[in-house]
Structure 1
Amino acid sequence: MNITILTYGSRGDVQPFVPLSVGLMNRGHNVTLAAPARFKNLVEENKIIFVPLAGDIEDLSRKLNDSGYNFIKQMNELRNHAIEIGADIFRQTEIASQNADLIIHTFAHAVGAHTLAREKNIPDIHIQTFPMFTPTGDYPNITMPNFRNRFLNRLSHMVSKKLFFLSAQIGFEQVRRKAKLPKRKLFIPFDENPLHFQTPILCAWSPSILPASTDWSYPQIHVTGYYFFPLNDSYSPSPELDSFLKAGKPPICISFGSMVNKDAKRIDEIVRESLRQTNNRGIILSGWGSVQHESTNDLLYIESAPHDWLLPKC
């Protein structure tokens, strides 16, 4: 089977689909993975066919962070980003999917990928790395505070989902007008006529972290667990990191990964003071967080390191 995986976002939105792709390839399938261009090496070093997608995801993340918990502002930022690069994304995803027998997609591609699948009359599967299209009263939508009320929690998911699809539809039409592309019928997943193929939703997280909700009304939702590679035994740390780990008791690791921060200086001060008060050593993985300071004997700042290698040593 020819399988196309469409994802967009930071490393956490892309990396899980690399071991998934390898697993599918090991079972005899052909896999094409489309993701932001910055992840070319991550994908291709695992012998996966890669189609690069346009856009600077780090810049988008900073704009979304500046929107705070305002879901409407976040949807506007996503739509503006999509309008800017949308025509290129359309072309690139169509290239990636041209020979597909199955399309797997994440939330950023939910509408476009589902539409492609319907046009090709092939099945599609949606994979969530965080709850997005699975309304429940157990907890609120990820962009909203906890209402401590099951009705309001569930309502927050339903409203956010409707706003997401409305924003996607408006952005889709604006992109096509801007690029002088012909009009195109959109197909919205998860709410269609039950006679059509129902798009399964796979939740790529551990049920120990977030169990399946008993009030999920959509029938095709499955919690699958995380998608990980085997532990990384081949990583060679920098001399600085190696020396720090050997110089004292195991440190506490604080990782910012693809998170962006409005006040990196304040966060850095909180981390440093917390380590001082608890008499602990620390390693800060700054990532996109812009948390930087001069390293000391008890605190090391580095940009990144493989979590599966580092965390057992902390």
Structure 2
Amino acid sequence: MGRKNQTWVSEFILLGLSNVWETQVSLFVLFLAMYLVAVLGNLLIILLIKLDSRLSTPMYFFLNVLSFVDICYTTSTVPQMLAHFLSACKSIPFHSCVLQLHISLAMGGAEFFLLGAMAYDRYVAVCHPLHYTVIMHGGLCFGLAATCLVAGFMNSLMQSVIIFQLPLCHNVINHFACEMLAVLRLACVDISFNKVMVTISGFLVVILPCFLVLFSYGRIVTAILHIRSAQGRRKAFGTCASHLTVVSMCFGTAIFTYIRPTGGSSAEQEKMVALFYAVVTPMLNPLVYSLRNKDVMSAFQKMLVKLTEIR
């Protein structure tokens, strides 16, 4: 299609999750509560790690970065979705749509790489405990975290540039946010190349970290099975259970959505999966890591005692 036939849009209309007012009000209350839990929970994790010196370890350094990424990811989409629940005009300016897609893709990609780095950290902790502090030194942890963030932003930049150079036939997005596959459906031209790029991106951002996680936990399980003490095995499994729970949620939803862009999943299914990933996962991460972690709970109780003493 020639450039003279391309359609320029100044804004997009988001169809959202429902057009029934009563349903929208109920969804607003539900997702507002979930968003607040997600943001406050992750902020609490960051605060506890900063205040408690016992949490100054590589595992909690990565958890700190993961909490920051979760806050950025959910904030990139949820506040706008909440505003649209109570608004008759569900529009978003073109440049805001580009920024939203870029930030959400970047944070999502960074999270997958971070989960891979955290799996490697657990592998070193369980399989090489005597050399853990030497291997996972501060420089390596900072370098891994920075690499995860840069890789997420580079992948997002590439996808954003390719997607928003396409000519668009209309500006109505069947989604609650400017999501990659939903925006691609607006194109007037064949998007086979874009689907290939989505698959390649999914392989690099999702499958490769997933392989790293599987390899790390394969070695971890093998090492744990060689521990003679039942108490030792439980302790070793306990250090990995929280991370493995989060990994299962994140990788499962992403593989379902992005690794098979031509797999026949409907727009409604994609919205539900994206909603789970944008709201539920960031909300559950701090709950999983705190409720299943004695060190975090101990730091939380210590902070409450200090607050009580101040009063």
When the two structures are superposed, what TM-score results if normalisation uses the length of structure 2?
A: 0.24
Name the structure, 1 or 2, with higher relative contact order (CA <8 Å, separation 6+). 2
When the two structures are superposed, what TM-score results if normalisation uses the length of structure 1?
A: 0.24
More strand as a share of residues: 1
